[in-house]
Amino acid sequence: MPLVHISLRAGKPDAWRQAIFDGVYQALRDTFDVPEDDQFMTIHEHVPANFRYGARCFGIERSDDLVYIQLTVNDTRTTDQKKALYRRLAGLLAENPGLRPQDVFINLVEVSTENWSTGNGLATFV
């Protein structure tokens, strides 16, 4: 049950943004075994003055196409699954919409299963 927040600079066409949604969803299906139709994602677009990044931080050359992808997930995945997600996501986004792997910044936020209510006022996973 990932909840995904994607941030990028404003101005990309709809097809670019939809390809990011599709790539994130496919990577999650492939590596985290999320169920079909488990797609809870938003994209936040920022004017350049409201989008800052370290262009060379950690020895990675980033561009203005940088995309932040933050995923809130259950704390049930292994380190190997997380590494597989990072690789798969960067690979899929390189294929479509053509995003350089250097411009894919991923952050996982892990929470306990009791921290989700996906509707009806119920603790979904407890």
Q: Tokens in use for 45? A: 């677009």
Which of the residues 2, 48, 97, 101 is marked catalytic? 2
2 is catalytic: yes
Question: Do 2 and 71 contact (CB within 8 A), yes or no?
Answer: yes
Task: Give the C-alpha separation, 32 to 121, whole Å.
Answer: 26
Q: How many CA atoms lie within 13 A of 76 on its CB side?
A: 12
Catalytic residues: 2
